[in-house]
Amino acid sequence: MQFRKHPSGKEVSELSAAVRILIAGGEIDIRDHREGDWAALKNDIHALVRSKGGESKYSTDQKEVMERALVDIAHQIKTPLTGAMLMLDLLDQATDSQRPELPQQLSIALNRIDWLTTSLLNLARLEEKLVEFHSQNTTTGAVITQARVATEPLLAANQQRLVIVGESLPLTTDLRWSGEALANVFKNAVEHSPPGSAIKIAGSTNALYTAIAVTDSGPGISRDALPHLFQRFTGSRSERGFGIGLPLALAIMRGQRGDVTVDGGRHDDGGRGNQGATFTLKFYHSTSITEETVRFP
């Protein structure tokens, strides 16, 4: 490499020592704001070392996220996994009348383990902002369809039905992730609605956002329970729930600068009759998004 001005032996030694410090993870600024090839070389070395250091930190962050997620998974799947293993043992001892029911129960337990594992990993990635969202022009109807496919077996098992109100509305969002968010809200509604009931889905739009609202047929939510709905492992109101679905839905929506809000309805401890809870996914229009309209935790 040709230099317009050859560096001195001292300058080369100083640069070599500085590079060793940077490689070891130390902090030192070797940038040179003067003109010339020697200054350009020092600036390029500085940029290269910094970029490699950033990649290393990103890799370390990812490793820590996955480690925390695996700890959560190991803790949370103990109960459904124990149930699945028990059912396998019962298969050998079951009577002819009991045997047909056990494979179905085992399938449900394994599906719950699979859902829980995937949800925890996704939630960990979302919380650490390791997910890239890819917005596209779609509709509220497309998001509802995607979520409905994922929850159809649950609806059928509970003999429940979806009642869709209103027309499909234009929407710009990541269809896959938004469908995942809505599916988790659907599952929450299924868990808290009685067998044979209806779950209402309604789309709407205004100057600030387009919304998809899900109303269950349950008893509503008490005021004491509202603050805990989106807390991991503590927000579930059902013995079948893990307290993961709603936090995951919220993380997906806020990752896209959207939000999830809840109306608890009329809880039966109020003495006014029952009215199901409503969870609303809000997709803010890009021209109306401000720090005031979208609050992040």
Provide the pLDDT for residue 227.
Answer: 80
User: 88 with 183, same domain?
Assistant: no
Provide the pLDDT for residue 255.
Answer: 93
- Look at residue 293 and tell me if it is in a domain: no
> What is the residue range of 227's domain?
136-288
User: 113 with 164, same domain?
Assistant: no
User: 113 with 144, same domain?
Assistant: no
Question: Which of 62-76, 144-158, 179-193 shows the lowest mean pLDDT across its residues?
Answer: 62-76
User: 154 with 35, same domain?
Assistant: no
Region 184-190: mean pLDDT is: 91
pLDDT cut 70: percent of the chain above it: 52
Summarize pLDDT for 69-121 with one digit per residue, the tens. Answer: 556 555 556 666 666 667 666 666 767 666 666 666 666 667 667 767 777 77
Say if residues 185 and 144 touch (Cβ distance below 8 Å): no
Of residues 184 and 97, more confidence is placed in: 184
Say if residues 237 and 218 touch (Cβ distance below 8 Å): no
Residues β-bridged to residue 165: 202
- Look at residue 297 and tell me if it is in a domain: no
Provide the pLDDT for residue 297.
Answer: 37
pTM of the model as a whole:
0.63
CA distance 182 to 200: 13
Summarize pLDDT for 116-141 with one digit per residue, the tens. Answer: 777 777 877 787 787 889 999 999 99
Question: What letter does residue 287 receive in the DSSP assignment?
Answer: G
Mean pLDDT of the chain: 75
The domain tally of the chain equals 3
User: 284 with 148, same domain?
Assistant: yes
- Look at residue 123 and tell me if it is in a domain: yes
Beta strands 170-173; 161-165: pairing state:
unpaired
Question: What letter does residue 8 receive in the DSSP assignment?
Answer: P
- Look at residue 228 and tell me if it is in a domain: yes
- 142: domain CATH number is 3.30.565.10
- Look at residue 213 and tell me if it is in a domain: yes
User: 209 with 264, same domain?
Assistant: yes
User: 201 with 259, same domain?
Assistant: yes
What 3-state class would DSSP assign to 167?
coil
- Look at residue 170 and tell me if it is in a domain: yes
Provide the pLDDT for residue 63.
Answer: 61
pLDDT cut 90: percent of the chain above it: 31
Question: Quick one: CA dihedral 64, 70, 76, 78, positive or negative?
Answer: negative
User: 189 with 269, same domain?
Assistant: yes
Answer with the one of 127, 148, 167 that is the final residue of a domain.
Answer: 127
User: 60 with 94, same domain?
Assistant: no
CA distance 179 to 176: 5
Question: Which of 51-55, 90-94, 171-175, 226-230 shows the lowest mean pLDDT across its residues?
Answer: 51-55
Q: Which amino acid makes up residue 211? A: A
- Look at residue 295 and tell me if it is in a domain: no
Burial (0-12, 13-18, 19+ Cβ within 10 Å), 16: exposed
- Look at residue 120 and tell me if it is in a domain: yes
Say if residues 261 and 185 touch (Cβ distance below 8 Å): no
